Structure 1
Amino acid sequence: MHRLVVVLLVLIAVTNGRLSVYHRHQQHLSLRSARHRISPLTGVRIALPTPEQLEWQAQEIGVLIHFNMATYVDNHDGCTGDMVPSISLFNPYKLNTNNWAQTMIDLGAKYAVLVAKHACGFLMAPTNVTFPLSPSGRIIPYNYTVDYSPVKGVNVLDNFVKSCNKQNIRHGFYYTVVNNDYLNVKQGLVQNTTLKKGQLNITQQTYDSIVLQQLRELWTNYGKLDEIWFDGGYTAELHDSVAALVSELQPDSIIFGGYGVTRNPIRWIGNEFGHAPDPTWSTGLEGGGDPNSPIFIPAECDTTLQQFDRWFWGPHVLLRSLTELIDVYHRSVGHNCMLMIDLTPDRTGLIPSAYALRYKELGDFIRACYGTSVVPIYRNSSADGRIHFQVFDSPVTVDRSVVQEDQTLGQVIRVYSIDVQLADSSNKDQWKSVASGTSIGNKKIDLWQAGSQMITAVRLNITETVDVPVLKAFTVHLCS
């Protein structure tokens, strides 16, 4: 998998540990153009989200569906540029995208992104794109697609969208611009090396035209896309054209790796383990973010169900344990990061039963643990929004807290702590600290270090903020 890291001057793609520079920011990508406001309380500049970014964050869990030609290649990394897999390999003879959608429901995923084209160059839908070969100029169709495979006539993308719509799951597409083995492209550039078996010879201008035509098809034929994935970014030469296409066809879509081409960008957290640092801010261009950044660009934590960073289905690959996945949930969603977990149909086109069970086990834990909370009989908040107090009618045992900030006017909380009154304390005015932190954002889950506590009251103290804080929720829970 290729991942995107954005720094101030250079867009860098991370590809299996190797770094490749793709393009520099243009002048109109200046930080001065970011949406922000000035706090009337402190005079601090606060980055402002778009409504689409807030809706996206509220979904919390999505899936990244890796199903493409690489599913049918045995090596760990799928296509590697050494060969173009035969199109006859792609034969999902039991393909059923409703099966995928049911697994998403069992997991609790609210959105799904399907790989439309990966590094092999294989496209999961019919296309009308044609292009000239070099140097002959002969016009041929883009024929490395599902329509030339053993399942000709099946539009996988269309089936996927229809299944998502039935279950009210938002949908989107992944498309890698920077690699295409079929057309001998690496890091966005057509190579001048000797062609390998199955590869076609084209010019850079032809490749760039193919990319834009295929993106137009993907962004036109399947309705509104909730999220668009540019894995590895795009070349400087394509930047303006991609930005114009987004503005024309999908202006409301969230775009992974989209800073500078959309008003709704999101960023990569910086690893593929599903681990966000604590703190993780909703602002800033890199990793855990920056509370002082004028750019609202929330993070996404993408990770695999299979062990050893395996994204496409592989034979005899072990799954990560439920315990590990629960930890991933707490270190992603619980750290103000969206969890995007890989969904991996096998070569039949279905989700293997062991995989479906593990997804459901994770969903069942989340629902059982956080689907309900301990309900107080009395709530009170200070006039300045800095103290939130809950009292229970009888002693309750809890072991964690969940805080959510209303970020409509930006993320403003900088430091907080949580105290409890113990049920067995002789001094009813004595408070015990059980958690503290900095960034809250969409959601912060604190697993209390002291473990389960029998309490009669709980208090959230917001001790540092750049404007009047507003909460969406503050709850406590007990989970096995």
Structure 2
Amino acid sequence: MKRINIGCFAIWFVCFNALGISAFAQTHSMSKAYHPPKDPLVQKKLADWQDLKFGLFMHWGTYSQWGVIESWTLCPEDESFISRGGAHGNNYVEYKESYENLQMTFNPVDFAPEKWVTAAKDAGMKYMIFTTKHHDGFCMFDTQETDYKITDASTPFSSNPRSNIADEIFKAFRTGGFMIGAYFSKPDWHNENYWWPYFPPKDRNPNYDPARYPERWQNFKNFTFNQIRELMTDYGRIDILWLDGGQVRPVEVAGKSGRDGSQYFNQDIDMPKIATMARALQPGLIMVDRTVAGEYENYTTPEQEVPDTPLPYPWETCMTIGGSWSYNPDDQFKSSLSLVQTLVKVVSRGGNLLLNIAPGPRGDWDPVAYERLKDIGNWMKVNSEGIYGSKPVAPYSVGNIYFTESENQSVIYAFWLSDKDEVSLPETLMIPLEKVAKKVKKVSLMGSDSALGWEQRADRIAVTVPHTLSAGNQIKYSAVFKIEF
């Protein structure tokens, strides 16, 4: 089991990586402090999760029918990533009604989660997070708290024997050996106790003051508690509760909302009560109350970005396979080269990569997503030894070479990143190292039986690559050198 690097540190940096970010996907900043969990069961599960390195994220809901950004077109904020207009109307009231009526036509008849399990498993993914409910409030599980759900009679898919989509997904991935995570939105823009119909919505926050109407806010707290209890009770083993909507948090001083999404009001939903209940039902549950620094954010979640240097606590980069978190028929998918190399960069900094793939309105992924996962899987079948259970090691990266280390510190893996799909290695290359006190026993190229020439020097290893391996070697994206001590 991997040791967790924990402590209370400030994060004053995180830069965007070279992949870039589409304006179609909203991003969030991450917390500026970390508080390690005290529960030994949570500590153990968190350590196990850190070793998995690569996970699947899925945003899916009625919004897939329009191919618009998930939930956010309902939010009356003037943000660049929010655009409603078009064929669905420019009048907000009419738009909201049309959006919520998408429930009446949602019928993903191609839904077959076992297909996703096979593709994700072959790609080397080890855990998954699924959106049981996003901010719009539409539930992809059979909640008893609202009729705005996939299993309600007004939803065409409700007659399908697999209509409880979250349950079907969790069961399929659990059978496939995955760690299971439930995404749950704390804000609920459909619930009358969050956006009270008496007032128009003003932004992403409640449209009334919870302190002035405490009974209404208590009803919302009860609603949230009950829905999370359903997920913790009726859906088998849940390993991660991934909570979104960081504006829903307690604040000492309420202030006017800014464009950063800070809340108008104190939105305390009693996380201690929720956590106590959830962990009584799911012992060892990892909780990710993202962007809310404290004991319920067991790992941090830099979004669409990779830190420059390792972070001293558990973390996960969540990133889209294309430009959008939700299904977009015109989405442009990142290349296999970019995806593999992003995984390497994240792991070299000690993090996990949670890659989002959005199902479409009929209930399947874009064929390109399957192609990307197949490419990643082919690379992982040769090189995953340097990914799973690894930890960061100085110098972390130099130029196009990135490093990881085995748990017992007996092996360093040097990932030589190519600038194109096919790897063409130089006939001689230098691998910089800081572990000069150890004597190198062997240097080899993962996936090859050909012997390498090498010489250990004070702060590096000079490697001679045979001509047969320098080109036409069938290696893609990144060559991995295994250095044994």
For residues 102 and 63 of structure 1, the distance between their equivalents in structure 2, rounded to whole angstroms, comes to 12
For residues 128 and 368 of structure 2, the distance between their equivalents in structure 1, rounded to whole angstroms, comes to 20
Identify which of 139, 164, 171 aligns with 1:162. 171
Residues 57 and 356 in structure 2, CA contact (< 8 A), matched pair in contact too? yes
Identify which of 44, 47, 51 aligns with 2:44. 51
For residues 191 and 277 of structure 1, the distance between their equivalents in structure 2, rounded to whole angstroms, comes to 45
Partner in structure 1 of residue 405 of structure 2: 403
For residues 133 and 459 of structure 2, the distance between their equivalents in structure 1, rounded to whole angstroms, comes to 47
Residues 134 and 185 in structure 2, CA contact (< 8 A), matched pair in contact too? yes
1:194 partnered with 2:200 = yes
SS state of the match for residue 326, structure 2?
A: coil
SS state of the match for residue 348, structure 2?
A: coil
For residues 126 and 62 of structure 1, the distance between their equivalents in structure 2, rounded to whole angstroms, comes to 25
- Shift of the alpha carbon at 1:341? 0.3
Kindly report which structure 2 residues correspond to 1:455-474, keeping only aligned pairs within 5 A, or say none: 455=454
Partner in structure 1 of residue 55 of structure 2: 62
For residues 366 and 65 of structure 1, the distance between their equivalents in structure 2, rounded to whole angstroms, comes to 21
Higher share in helix? 2
RMSD: 4.5
Judged with a 3 Å threshold, the aligned counterparts in structure 2 of structure 1 residues 203 and 150 are, in CA distance, closer, same or farther, namely: same
Judged with a 3 Å threshold, the aligned counterparts in structure 2 of structure 1 residues 401 and 277 are, in CA distance, closer, same or farther, namely: closer
Partner in structure 2 of residue 267 of structure 1: 300
Judged with a 3 Å threshold, the aligned counterparts in structure 2 of structure 1 residues 74 and 406 are, in CA distance, closer, same or farther, namely: same
Partner in structure 2 of residue 111 of structure 1: 127
Partner in structure 2 of residue 411 of structure 1: none
Partner in structure 1 of residue 189 of structure 2: 181
For residues 433 and 458 of structure 2, the distance between their equivalents in structure 1, rounded to whole angstroms, comes to 11
Judged with a 3 Å threshold, the aligned counterparts in structure 2 of structure 1 residues 347 and 145 are, in CA distance, closer, same or farther, namely: closer
For residues 191 and 458 of structure 1, the distance between their equivalents in structure 2, rounded to whole angstroms, comes to 72
Residues 301 and 340 in structure 1, CA contact (< 8 A), matched pair in contact too? yes
1:221 partnered with 2:254 = no
Identify which of 137, 146, 150 aligns with 2:151. 146
User: For 1:166-197, what per-residue CA distance to the aligned partner results, in whole angstroms no more than 9, with x for missing partners?
Assistant: 2111212100002x221267xx675752379x
For residues 240 and 370 of structure 1, the distance between their equivalents in structure 2, rounded to whole angstroms, comes to 38
Partner in structure 2 of residue 85 of structure 1: 100
Partner in structure 2 of residue 101 of structure 1: 117
- Shift of the alpha carbon at 1:164? 1.1
What letter is aligned with 1:151?
A: F
What letter is aligned with 1:267?
A: T
Partner in structure 1 of residue 346 of structure 2: 332
What letter is aligned with 2:53?
A: E
Residues 254 and 265 in structure 1, CA contact (< 8 A), matched pair in contact too? yes
Identify which of 120, 136, 141 aligns with 1:120. 136
Structure 2: which 5+ residue stretches go unaligned?
1-7, 11-24, 75-91, 209-214, 251-267, 388-392, 394-400, 415-426, 436-444, 446-450, 461-479
For residues 28 and 406 of structure 2, the distance between their equivalents in structure 1, rounded to whole angstroms, comes to 37
Residues 119 and 176 in structure 1, CA contact (< 8 A), matched pair in contact too? yes
What letter is aligned with 1:57?
A: Q
User: For 1:54-94, what per-residue CA distance to the aligned partner results, in whole angstroms no more than 9, with x for missing partners?
Assistant: 10011111111111122223333544225143112321011
- Shift of the alpha carbon at 1:369? 3.2
Kindly report which structure 2 residues correspond to 1:235-384, keeping only aligned pairs within 5 A, or say none: 235-236=249-250, 237-238=268-269, 239-257=271-289, 260-262=294-296, 265-269=298-302, 271-273=303-305, 275-282=306-313, 298-307=314-323, 310-371=324-385
SS state of the match for residue 265, structure 1?
A: coil
Judged with a 3 Å threshold, the aligned counterparts in structure 2 of structure 1 residues 18 and 367 are, in CA distance, closer, same or farther, namely: closer
Residues 140 and 149 in structure 2, CA contact (< 8 A), matched pair in contact too? no
What letter is aligned with 2:118?
A: Q
Residues 70 and 134 in structure 2, CA contact (< 8 A), matched pair in contact too? no
SS state of the match for residue 229, structure 1?
A: strand
- Shift of the alpha carbon at 1:109? 0.7
For residues 185 and 131 of structure 2, the distance between their equivalents in structure 1, rounded to whole angstroms, comes to 9
Judged with a 3 Å threshold, the aligned counterparts in structure 2 of structure 1 residues 364 and 261 are, in CA distance, closer, same or farther, namely: same
Kindly report which structure 2 residues correspond to 1:23-38, keeping only aligned pairs within 5 A, or say none: none
- Shift of the alpha carbon at 1:221? 0.7
User: For 1:15-36, what per-residue CA distance to the aligned partner results, in whole angstroms no more than 9, with x for missing partners?
Assistant: 9468899xx99xxx9x6x8659
Judged with a 3 Å threshold, the aligned counterparts in structure 2 of structure 1 residues 95 and 216 are, in CA distance, closer, same or farther, namely: same
Higher share in strand? 1
SS state of the match for residue 73, structure 2?
A: coil
Residues 92 and 347 in structure 1, CA contact (< 8 A), matched pair in contact too? yes
TM-score normalised according to structure 2 size: 0.61
1:434 partnered with 2:439 = no
For residues 287 and 404 of structure 2, the distance between their equivalents in structure 1, rounded to whole angstroms, comes to 28
- Shift of the alpha carbon at 1:326? 1.9
- Shift of the alpha carbon at 1:337? 0.4
Structure 1: which 5+ residue stretches go unaligned?
1-5, 9-14, 37-46, 130-140, 283-297, 374-385, 387-398, 408-415, 419-423, 426-431, 438-446, 462-474
TM-score normalised according to structure 1 size: 0.62
User: For 1:252-307, what per-residue CA distance to the aligned partner results, in whole angstroms no more than 9, with x for missing partners?
Assistant: 12222276455x811123x313x23223322xxxxxxxxxxxxxxx0011001013
For residues 211 and 459 of structure 1, the distance between their equivalents in structure 2, rounded to whole angstroms, comes to 59
For residues 141 and 27 of structure 2, the distance between their equivalents in structure 1, rounded to whole angstroms, comes to 31
For residues 368 and 304 of structure 1, the distance between their equivalents in structure 2, rounded to whole angstroms, comes to 24
Residues 112 and 170 in structure 1, CA contact (< 8 A), matched pair in contact too? yes
- Shift of the alpha carbon at 1:97? 0.8
Identity of aligned residues (%): 19
What letter is aligned with 1:152?
A: S
What letter is aligned with 1:345?
A: P
Residues 42 and 285 in structure 2, CA contact (< 8 A), matched pair in contact too? no
